[in-house]
Amino acid sequence: MTGTGAPTLFDGVANTIAVVVLLLEFLMLRAAMLRAQVRLYAIQSLVVSVLAAVVAAGRDVPELYVLAVVSFLMKAVIVPWLILRLLRDASAEIAGSGVLSVASEVLLAIVVAAFGFFTVNTLDIHSDVLPATALSVAFAVVLVAFVLIIMRRDVVSQAVGFFSLENGVSMVSLVVAAGMPLILEVAFLFDLLVAVVVFGVLMRVHHGRTRSLSTIELTRLRG
């Protein structure tokens, strides 16, 4: 069991992977180029899939191998490919813009991530599968994804922000719900794919109407 005595090799590997996911989230926040952002998302999805495989091997949950493969195919291959294709068709802007400067955004994200990290630590939720640190990191990923969605002013970054939020949720699920029936996990992923298609359609509609990927003009409806 984890949580007692010195951290094992497995714990170390799992925690490192979790931290890499969080760092990738920060890189996405930093990335100005939309393409770079999508690629970072693909790498992040790959890392989350690797974490699933590591849990499968380390904790002997063979079902998670299937999840790792499905999640890799969907989130690291299909989804980024769909968005990159959309970007190629749109060929409008290649860089998005944020509300704040990149430095302030990163500072804000650090504060938010730290808040998430320490708050979840105090909840005292233990898991047999992964160290609790990974859970705190996963919640931090979710919160930084929110910063990304809120601060960015273009439809691609906002959509990618939502998808990476889902990566954070997947990590939470690996930590505390590794035994969840595979069929449900796959259903969640399939739902994500449907959401991606809808996001794609609406991005196209938006681009077709405004000839731009920016959301700055979306201020007509208020009150």
Partner 1 sequence: MSTATLLLVVGTLPALATLLCVVLPHRAAAAVTLAVALVCLAAVIRLVPPTAHGVVALGFLRVDALSEVFLLPTGLLYAAAAAFSIGYLGDEARQAAASGGHRQRLFSRYSRLFFVGFNAFAWSMFCAPMADGLALLWIAVEVTTVVSALLVALDNTEGATEAAWKYVLIASCGLGIALLATIVMYYAGAQAMGQSYDLALDPLVAHAAQLPQTPVRLAFVLAVVGFGTKVGLFPMHTWLPDAHAEAPTPVSALLSGSLLAVSFYAILRYDEVTRITVGDRFPQGVLLVFGVASLLLASLSLLQQADLKRLLAYSSVEHMGILAIGISFGSPLAAVGVLLHVLAHAAAKGNAFLGAGVVVRVFRTKSLARIRGVLDRLPWTGPLLLASILALCAMPPFGLFRSEFDIVAGGIGAGQHTAGAILVILVTIAFLGLLGSVVRLVLTSPATAAPGREPSAWMVVPMVGLLAVLLVLGVHPPEDLSTLLSAAAGQLAGAVAR
- Contact residues for partner 1 (CB under 8 A)? 123-125, 127, 142, 146, 149, 155, 158-159, 162, 165-166, 169, 172-173, 176-181, 184, 187-188, 191, 194-195, 197-199, 201-202, 205-206, 209-210, 215, 218, 220-221, 223
CB of 101 to partner 1, least distance (A): 23
Instruction: Tell me the residue type at 157.
Output: S
CB of 6 to partner 1, least distance (A): 25
155-176 helix and 79-90 helix, angle to the nearest 10 degrees: 170
Q: Which residues in 157-166 are b (16+ Cβ under 10 Å) and which e? A: bbbbbbbbbb
Residue 51 is encoded by which pair of tokens? Answer: 């974490």
Annotate 86-152 with DSSP letters as a single string: HHHHH-S-SB--BSS-HHHHHHHHHHHHHHHHHHHHHH----SSS-HHHHHHHHHHHHHHHHHHHHB
203/200 Cα distance (integer angstroms): 5
Location of structure tokens 């997947």: 170
Location of structure tokens 């699933």: 52
Nearer to partner 1, 10 or 146 (CB): 146
Nearer to partner 1, 32 or 205 (CB): 205
CB of 11 to partner 1, least distance (A): 19
CB of 176 to partner 1, least distance (A): 4
CB of 202 to partner 1, least distance (A): 5
Nearer to partner 1, 6 or 67 (CB): 67
Q: With beta carbons less than 8 A apart as the criterion, state whether 80 and 38 touch.
A: yes
Nearer to partner 1, 12 or 115 (CB): 115
Nearer to partner 1, 12 or 218 (CB): 218
Q: What's the residue count for the chain?
A: 223
CB of 179 to partner 1, least distance (A): 3
Task: Measure the CA dihedral 108/109/114/119, to 10°.
Answer: 100
Nearer to partner 1, 72 or 206 (CB): 206
